[in-house]
């Protein structure tokens, strides 16, 4: 096997798992982890005991010999290590095979037992009652309805169905920034560093010119700073501007609500004034708690710092990035919504205010545990200190709305600044930890005493009423300047003569440079080294109903599919009781474990990694063995039982959940598989039905179109979804292109079987590991997959990948191909090679939020008129064009949580991206213009969204059907856990991909094994 991941001096540290694999081999040699029930219907795999024993082995070696400069380490092998790795994986497989044959009676019995444990899916057909796999596959969906909407500007707001607030952030003269920066530093040299020494000026200017030419110099660092941080700063400013925009243009009789809105704006502005106070030195902002030091000027300069507040605008959904290279303008288009202080999803449904006050409370378990935990302490302390500052400046007051003599007009007279400096800062900057905890506790008492919740509720009510109103707000553009302040430069001329132009503090703490990028209103600014002109545009976009509607239904297609069930459960407590009561006589594979293994105070970080690593290795090899001769019509559902809640999961349960998802994903390359958890706390039939619907959501479905405006003509359409996740990387950006990433993907097949009938199913998943140099150019796994689709008769492929958005100003331009990620011209060219009649449509998506204003209930809304959709993301050069918006209309949760609904927006690339292999006109004809092929493609894409919906009630389309591959809950993201070295990441899916390749190759070389 050729190892594509070995190389010379690429900045990556090799990993050597030989010692760990040797210990795993020794452990399984001494114990058979397979146990078969007397009726041969249940196979238990006791991996947990083996994993715990290996983890407790003293003196285990770290696979990573050196962690210096390492961010992630998973599959970087030398050639010698690769050969040894392959041999050890095969030895582990051989030992497990011997134990499995011993358990089953013979090698032939393995396949026979798997066949016996596999049932036809029709055998679990029935009404869902108690916990188990029984499900009503025969039930058709109710008639579903899809309605078209239009984006218009000349109709009254009272007729609109949806409201969307759009924000466009523009930065001008980006192309001139490098020369402006060079001139700004030159001016600084002649006026500040050496104002009276012309010879020294010339020497310094010569040094500066050398730095300008060096792509790894301080000059480049300054460009990178403005390039990467400006958008975040603009977003932070835009949140306040949005509140100001609402305050200026809304019409309301709620005088008290308006007082609270204007006071919120005033207090948010005072935070920026405080941290930008030129009369204070950086050291004046340093505070500490629990041995962790935080600089408020640095911490409060970050873009997301306001997001912890109960009511604050959220900029969410990236609708486009456009660059006018001739004019030097860069545009970013986003959606806007208001956060209304509802429940925090990750913490028992607490309101935002209660959750954040709980974090501050030194008497709460959450606070105590985080402070005691070395791995969590630093981030938690930063969170606590920042929240104290933000909440003090926004909520501290001497006015109590609960008192009879309350005068709301006095709210604007309270200034938190001097009180914070006088009462809080001296304590937080000192060393008395008890006094700091008294500050925290006293602030919480004050918040409760002053009835802050009354103000929050009144402001929330007013804002919700205003947003729900039909009147269209006027469009407004606000001008701003992005300034890079002179304070970032060196003040010592002798250091500058040595080439050190940045302030020494930046050398010690690169994060400190954030505070030198500021956003100001237009006007006189004499502290700027150089600046960029910017603007913030806010628009009220409306969607209006059309008369065109379509209706359809769907059914499961389970004929000929067999099920090999897997149950993963803790072997104690309510989960084990439920398992014994429900599953003990059902055919299945059992993965049981002690769910307290990873609880705090048990295994140390190194032992935790080894426990997880051992589970990962053995679980995959065991399933690979069991399925060696299994038929391809198997469906392998992983049903997980959980004792912990969603908000407070057991760490071991969370790990096993992620591992089961990874196993299911890898098995889906050849079989159908999925993984779903059932939480037994507050368990009921409704939750069980939803859980099973999600578990079975990957099964084939057939849609019948009952009412349509045009007949379907396209026979086959494939949807290819692709993403990647880093597995091996150095912290030094010099080695960025040498990083190794694990590429993941999923293929969906959509076929028209009759004039009004479409079948949708997952065809396969795939994964492989590549260096970035190869990943975005010619990854074989993608090329092979497209070749297979072509051989199966697919000529149209929707190629869904990560949006090629950078969130930078493009001051420092990298490789254009790499900037497009999986949509780079070399990669698309490689996919289409030798297939002249193949059409691949590169598309990407994002989600934004709208407010539903009323009208009859509809399962889904669609906007597919490209001319109308250009008003969402106007690209003067038409490089990226929006061609479809889908909205599901679903409202879940409590009323205060249902205010906004998500919309998924699809875009494609136009222009000269793929000149040799894909005609720009082809994409326009098939996705942009109103043609029959476009209507079919968009219809199939919409039905794919419906096919992934995984709830029983209010059936509609799933807004994000790509979450398995793309996003923070993707399989790639869930496969990451900490390596033995703290703060170094391990990618379990990338590792298992290498294990899979060893076993697959062995099967090809020796096909008769087993």
Q: What is the pLDDT of residues 52-72, one digit of tens each?
A: 999 999 988 999 988 889 999
Alpha helices in 518-559 (DSSP H): none
616-663 confidence digits (pLDDT tens): 999 999 999 999 999 999 999 999 999 998 878 999 999 999 999 999
pLDDT tier at 363, thresholds 50, 70, 90: very high
* Side-chain-facing half-sphere of 433: CA atoms under 13 Å: 8
Question: Is the same domain home to 277 and 419?
Answer: yes
pLDDT digit string, tens, across residues 449-501: 999 999 999 999 999 998 888 789 999 999 999 999 888 898 999 998 998 88
Q: Tell me if 356 is assigned to some domain.
A: yes
H or E element that contains 654 = helix 651-667
User: Minimal CA–CA distance to 312: which of 359, 265, 358?
Assistant: 265
Whether 459 and 574 map to the same domain: the answer is no
Phi, psi dihedral angles at 849 (to 5 degrees): -125, 140
Q: Which of 468, 483, 505 is the last residue of a domain?
A: 468
Q: Are 937 and 717 in contact (CB under 8 A)?
A: yes
Q: Is 45 helix (H, G, I), strand (E, B) or coil?
A: strand
**Parallel, antiparallel or unpaired: strands 634-642 and 562-563:** parallel
Question: Over the stretch 110-160, which tens digit does the pLDDT of each residue have?
Answer: 999 999 999 999 999 988 778 999 999 998 888 888 888 888 888 888 889
Residue 322 within a domain: no
Judgement on whether residues 436 and 291 belong to the same structural domain of the protein: yes
- What 3-state DSSP class applies to 399? coil
* 777, part of any domain: no
- In this prediction, residue 1 carries a pLDDT of 42
Average pLDDT (817-840) is 83
Q: Look at strands 311-324 and 900-909 and give their pairing.
A: unpaired
- 272 and 378 in a single domain? The answer is yes
Domain boundary among 422, 440, 468: 468
Mean predicted confidence (pLDDT) in 538-547: 90
More confident residue, 374 or 516: 516
Q: Which of 436, 468, 500 is the last residue of a domain?
A: 468
Both 264 and 392 in one domain: the answer is: yes
Q: Is 571 exposed, middle or buried (0-12, 13-18, 19+ CB in 10 A)?
A: middle
Residue 134 forms part of a structural domain: no
Residue ranges of E strands in 784-870: 796-801, 839-852, 860-863
Query: What is the residue range of 453's domain?
Result: 257-310+351-468
Residue 825 domain-assigned? no
Q: What is the pTM of this model?
A: 0.89
**Coil vs helix vs strand at 502:** strand
Q: Burial level of 379, CB count in 10 A (0-12/13-18/19+)? A: exposed
| Claim to verify: residue 682 and residue 562 sit in the same structural domain | yes
Q: What is the pLDDT of residues 259-296, one digit of tens each?
A: 999 999 999 999 999 998 888 888 899 999 999 999 99
> Has residue 387 been placed in a domain?
yes
Strand, helix or coil for residue 30 = coil
Does 4 score more than 70 pLDDT? no
pLDDT-based confidence at residue 204 (cuts at 50, 70, 90): very high
**Domain-located, residue 503:** no
Dist CA 371 CA 281 (whole Å): 29
Q: How many domains does the chain have?
A: 2
Within a domain: 816: no
The candidate with the shortest Cα–Cα distance to 169, out of 543, 472, 539, 530, is: 539
665 versus 810: the higher-pLDDT residue is 665
Quick one: pLDDT at residue 1010?
46
**877 pLDDT more than 60:** no
Question: What's the length of the chain?
Answer: 1010
Listing DSSP states for 551-594 in one string gives EEEEEE--TT-EE--EEEEESSHHHHHHHHHHTTTS-EEEEEE-
**CA angle, 618 as apex, 583 and 642 as ends, to 5°?**
40
Q: Are 460 and 574 within one domain?
A: no
Chain centroid to CA 326: 34
E strand residue ranges, 84-230: 119-120, 144-151, 162-171
């Amino acid at each position: 096997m050729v190892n594509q991941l070995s190389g010379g001096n690429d900045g990556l540290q090799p990993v050597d798992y030989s010692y760990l694999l040797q210990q795993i081999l020794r452990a399984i040699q001494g114990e058979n982890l397979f146990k078969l029930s007397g009726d041969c219907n249940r196979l238990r795999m006791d991996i947990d005991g083996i994993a715990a024993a290996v983890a407790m082995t003293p003196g285990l070696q770290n696979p990573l010999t050196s962690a210096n400069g390492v961010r992630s380490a998973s599959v970087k092998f030398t050639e010698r290590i690769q050969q040894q790795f392959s041999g050890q994986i095969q030895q582990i497989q051989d030992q497990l095979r011997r134990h499995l044959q011993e358990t089953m009676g013979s090698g032939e019995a393995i396949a026979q037992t798997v066949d016996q444990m596999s049932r036809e899916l029709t055998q679990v057909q029935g009404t869902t009652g108690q916990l188990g796999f029984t499900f009503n596959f025969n039930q058709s969906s109710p008639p579903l309805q899809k309605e078209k909407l239009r984006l218009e500007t000349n109709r009254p707001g009272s007729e609109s169905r949806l409201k969307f607030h759009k924000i466009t952030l523009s930065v001008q003269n980006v192309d001139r920034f490098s020369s402006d920066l060079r001139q700004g530093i030159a001016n600084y040299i002649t006026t500040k560093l050496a104002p009276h020494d012309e010879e020294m000026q010339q020497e310094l200017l010569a040094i500066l010119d050398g730095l300008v030419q060096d792509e790894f110099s301080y000059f480049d660092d300054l460009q990178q700073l403005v390039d990467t941080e400006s958008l975040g700063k603009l977003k932070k400013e835009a949140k306040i501007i949005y509140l100001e925009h609402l305050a200026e243009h809304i019409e309301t009789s709620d005088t008290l609500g308006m007082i609270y809105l204007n006071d919120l704006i005033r207090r948010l502005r005072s935070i920026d004034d405080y941290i930008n106070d030129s009369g204070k030195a950086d050291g004046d902002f340093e505070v500490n708690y629990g041995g962790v030091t935080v600089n408020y000027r640095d911490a409060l300069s970050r873009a997301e710092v306001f997001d912890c507040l109960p009511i604050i605008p959220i900029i969410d959904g990236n609708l486009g990035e456009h660059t006018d290279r001739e004019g030097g303008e860069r545009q970013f288009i986003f959606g806007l919504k208001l956060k209304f202080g509802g429940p925090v999803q990750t913490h028992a449904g607490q309101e935002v205010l209660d959750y954040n006050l709980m974090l501050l409370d030194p008497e709460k378990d959450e606070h105590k545990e985080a402070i005691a935990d070395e791995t969590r302490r630093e981030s938690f302390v930063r969170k606590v200190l920042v929240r104290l500052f933000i909440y003090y400046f926004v909520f501290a007051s001497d006015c109590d709305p609960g008192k009879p003599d309350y005068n709301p007009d006095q709210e604007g007279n309270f200034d938190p600044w001097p009180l914070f400096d006088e009462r809080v800062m001296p304590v937080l900057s000192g060393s008395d930890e008890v006094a700091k905890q008294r500050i925290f506790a006293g602030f919480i008492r004050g918040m409760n005493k002053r009835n802050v919740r009354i103000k929050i509720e009144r402001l929330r009510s007013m804002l919700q009423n205003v947003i729900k109103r039909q009147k269209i707000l006027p469009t407004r553009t606000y001008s701003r300047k992005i300034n890079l302040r002179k304070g970032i430069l060196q003040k010592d001329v002798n250091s500058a003569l040595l080439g050190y132009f940045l302030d020494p503090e930046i050398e010690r703490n690169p994060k400190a440079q954030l505070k030198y990028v500021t956003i100001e209103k237009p006007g006189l600014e004499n502290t700027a080294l150089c600046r960029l002109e910017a603007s913030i545009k806010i628009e009220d976009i409306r969607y209006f109903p059309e008369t065109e509607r379509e209706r359809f239904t769907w059914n499961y297609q389970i004929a000929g599919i067999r099920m090999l069930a897997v149950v993963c459960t803790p072997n104690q407590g309510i989960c084990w009781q439920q398992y014994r009561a429900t599953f003990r006589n059902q055919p299945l594979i059992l993965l049981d474990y002690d769910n307290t293994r990873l609880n705090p105070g048990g295994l140390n970080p190194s032992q935790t990694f080894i426990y997880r690593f051992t589970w990962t290795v053995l679980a995959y090899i065991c399933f690979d063995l069991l399925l060696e001769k299994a038929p391809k019509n198997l469906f392998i559902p992983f049903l997980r039982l959980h004792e912990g809640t969603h908000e407070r999961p057991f760490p071991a349960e969370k790990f096993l959940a992620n591992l089961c998802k990874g196993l299911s994903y890898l098995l889906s390359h050849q079989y159908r598989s999925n993984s779903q958890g059932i939480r037994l706390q507050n368990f009921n039939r409704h939750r069980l039905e939803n859980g099973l619907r999600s578990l079975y959501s990957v099964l084939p479905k057939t849609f019948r179109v009952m009412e349509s405006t045009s007949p379907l003509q396209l026979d086959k359409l494939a949807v290819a979804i692709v993403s990647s996740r880093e597995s091996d990387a150095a912290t030094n950006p010099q080695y960025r292109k040498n990083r190794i990433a694990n590429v993941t993907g999923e293929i969906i097949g959509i076929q028209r079987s009759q004039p009004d009938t479409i079948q949708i199913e997952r065809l396969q998943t795939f994964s492989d590991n590549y260096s970035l140099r190869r990943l975005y150019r010619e990854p074989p796994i993608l090329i092979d997959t497209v070749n297979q689709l072509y051989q199966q008769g697919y000529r149209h492929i929707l190629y869904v990948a990560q949006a090629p958005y950078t969130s930078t100003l493009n001051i420092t331009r990298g490789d254009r191909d790499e900037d497009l990620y999986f949509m780079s011209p070399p990669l698309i060219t490689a996919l289409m090679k030798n297939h002249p009649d193949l059409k691949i449509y590169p598309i990407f998506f994002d989600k934004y939020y709208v407010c539903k204003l009323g009208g009859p209930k509809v399962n889904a809304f669609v906007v597919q008129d490209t001319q109308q959709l250009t008003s969402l993301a106007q690209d003067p050069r038409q490089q990226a064009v929006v061609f479809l918006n889908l909205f599901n209309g679903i409202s879940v949760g409590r009323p205060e949580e249902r205010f906004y609904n998500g919309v998924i927006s699809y875009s494609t690339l136009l222009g000269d991206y793929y000149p040799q292999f894909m005609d720009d006109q082809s994409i326009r004809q098939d996705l942009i213009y109103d043609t029959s092929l476009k209507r079919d493609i968009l219809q199939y894409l919409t039905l794919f969204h419906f096919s992934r919906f995984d709830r029983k009630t209010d059936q509609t389309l799933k807004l994000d059907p790509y979450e398995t591959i793309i996003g923070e809950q993707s399989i790639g993201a869930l496969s990451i856990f900490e390596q033995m070295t703290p703060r170094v990441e391990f990618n379990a899916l990338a590792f298992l991909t290498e294990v899979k390749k060893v076993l697959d190759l062995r099967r090809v070389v020796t096909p008769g094994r087993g």
